[in-house]
Amino acid sequence: MPDWVQIHVATNQHEAIEDRLLEFGAVSVTLSDAADVPVLEPAPGEIRLWPEMIVTGLFPHETDPQPLCQQLVEQGLCEAGHVRHELLVDRAWEREWLVDFGPMRFGRRLWVSPHEAAPIWPEDAVVLRMDPGLAFGTGTHPTTRLCLQWLDAQDLSGLSVIDYGCGSGVLAVAAALLGARQVVAYDIDPQALTATRANARANGVEHLIEILPCEQPPQQPADVVMANILAATLIDLKPQVCQLVAPGGRLLLSGILAEQQGDVCKAYADQFLLTPENSDAWIRLDGRRFASDA
């Protein structure tokens, strides 16, 4: 396989750099953090960027990167010390992620595993097969991990479930595999719906999961509603989320930093008494809707 040439540019003008690298003939352009500044999980459909980034252009191996780097400097798009190039030895990139992403266990029964990973789980395990993709959620983030652990501990047999802000569909698919009668998956990002549909099909539960279009949020209440988004969004969406939980139903909220717990609990206090569970700096909240609330 031929090698590739990469050009890396540290910049706060990422759009201009992206455009120029594509004009130069880059076959792909990616963004990464230049200063180790955390960017939290985005709300559905939201794109969050770092204040300073590394823009990386990938070029065919015959590309001479030196004049391209020089042009970026001469055109005032970056400083000389902020652009570099390297030869990238080609590999089987579709398998590279397997080095860091293997089968993971959540609770007693539930496992999430890449499609090609060798089985290491017991015979009674519930295995969700999923490869990392563009839509958020494989179980590696603490917010998703907290939700998967909660799901594993529930008896979902015969229950209806809504995954509000489904991302990759990992929670929706897990709920279906764990016995839910029906799961509704919703997200305002079309890419998330595509990923959810593919993951549901790959796990043989597409007949149990209804994937709603971006413009058609769920309307019918469910026994269990899950929303793994962000604290501010959860507060903003409180009226919509609450009306989706059937009287006596369960609500699972995640994507909440420890210092945001009080604000989220306060927002939902008129209809739920929420119990926290933490992982690192993140909090999961769950509770049953007051039976008196009809």
Predicted pLDDT of residue 250: 97
Chain centre distance of CA 45: 11
* DSSP of 66-77: HHHHHHHHHTTS
Per-residue pLDDT of the chain (294 residues; tens, 9 = 90+): 458 889 999 877 777 888 889 899 988 887 765 544 444 444 554 444 444 678 888 898 899 999 999 999 999 888 888 899 998 776 554 455 455 567 889 999 999 998 878 889 999 999 999 876 544 455 568 889 999 999 999 999 999 999 999 988 999 999 999 999 999 999 988 888 988 999 999 999 999 999 998 889 999 999 999 999 989 999 999 999 999 999 999 999 999 999 999 999 999 999 999 999 988 789 999 999 987 544
Distance between CA atoms of residues 35 and 115, nearest Å = 34
Predicted pLDDT of residue 204: 96
Distance between CA atoms of residues 162 and 42, nearest Å = 19
Select from 93, 228, 252, 79 the least CA-distant residue to 168.
Answer: 228
Predicted pLDDT of residue 38: 44
Contact 166, 187 (CB under 8 A): yes
